[in-house]
Amino acid sequence: MGEPQLLSAWAGHWTGDGTGVTVILPPPGTVGSGEVRGGAPASREFELLDPVRLVDRVDAVVLSGGSAFGLAAGDGVMRLLRERGLGLPTPAGLVPIVVGLSLFDAAVADPPPYAEAGRAAAESALAGAPFAAGRVGAGTGAATGKWRGELVPSGLGVARGRAGPASIAAVIAVNAWGDVVRAGENPPADITPAPPPFPSANTTIGVVLTDAKLGKKDCHLLARSAHTGFARALDPVHTSYDGDAVVALATGELDAEVDVEHLRQVTAHVVAEAIRAGSPTPAP
């Protein structure tokens, strides 16, 4: 199946006309949690990521365009994983734990068959296809700057870092209402937000992956720190018009002690860099 492309996870895209799907397939035994900070999320199985919920495994994370329509991409991924013998064992058979996050793009007007697209993205991941960044997969129809009444093309950004012995990677689809703020820049202080319809059609979503061995609670802390990275690189951020959400995954493959607070600090940095990488056109 080729070499892993995102630490030890498999990752792949399906890219359509102005929309797409990105699938992350972590190795068996991966623990996950997450957090939503925006006011308008589109998600599936996200409540399961709460640290107090029973199941701690995650078999796949699916990022997609198409808003609520795009959540159907998870159906195709679930069926493929079950066919391959992956999922939570239950008396009625395997149930793959597939978390879905969607952003709003132009495909909402005429959604493609997202279940088929999700399966295609997962098959691409399992085949070891090159994992590209930019205007591919879930980032295909993404844009920023909408609070100013503009559409600045953006896409999918990837960044990596280390916290002691642990590796960290972030994959973020950047579709913010606000602007991307570069390192060292001061965000604008006196812009009047644009009138409707620009308050709609937003949401920045992503995945943080580490090889550290973490429980569900620490994964939740990692997701919270990922949102710190959002706040460093987006302005305004976490608005009522965004569905900003992050899933944090820990594969547990690293046989070494890791300081969680160090991991959180690096996570915030890596996420901010992924957001900036996903929007190469600076805001004016």
> What confidence score (pLDDT) does residue 276 get?
97
Average pLDDT over residues 29-38: 97
Is the pLDDT reported for residue 135 higher than 60?
A: yes
114-126 helix and 73-83 helix, angle to the nearest 10 degrees: 50
Highest mean pLDDT pick, 73-82, 124-133, 199-208: 73-82
Q: Residue 196 — very low, low, confident or very high, per pLDDT cuts 50/70/90?
A: low
**Would you state the structure tokens that stand for residue 74, as one six-digit string?**
């998870």
CATH top-level class of 10-277: alpha beta
Listed residue (160, 153, 120) closest to 139, CA to CA: 153
List, in order, residues 6 or more apart from 198 with CB less than 8 Å away. 146, 147, 149, 177
Is the pLDDT reported for residue 179 higher than 50?
A: yes
Strand 60-64 to 20-25 pairing? antiparallel
Listed residue (240, 238, 221, 222) closest to 230, CA to CA: 238
> What confidence score (pLDDT) does residue 149 get?
87
Query: What value does the mean pLDDT of the chain take?
Result: 93
Q: Residue 284 — very low, low, confident or very high, per pLDDT cuts 50/70/90?
A: very low
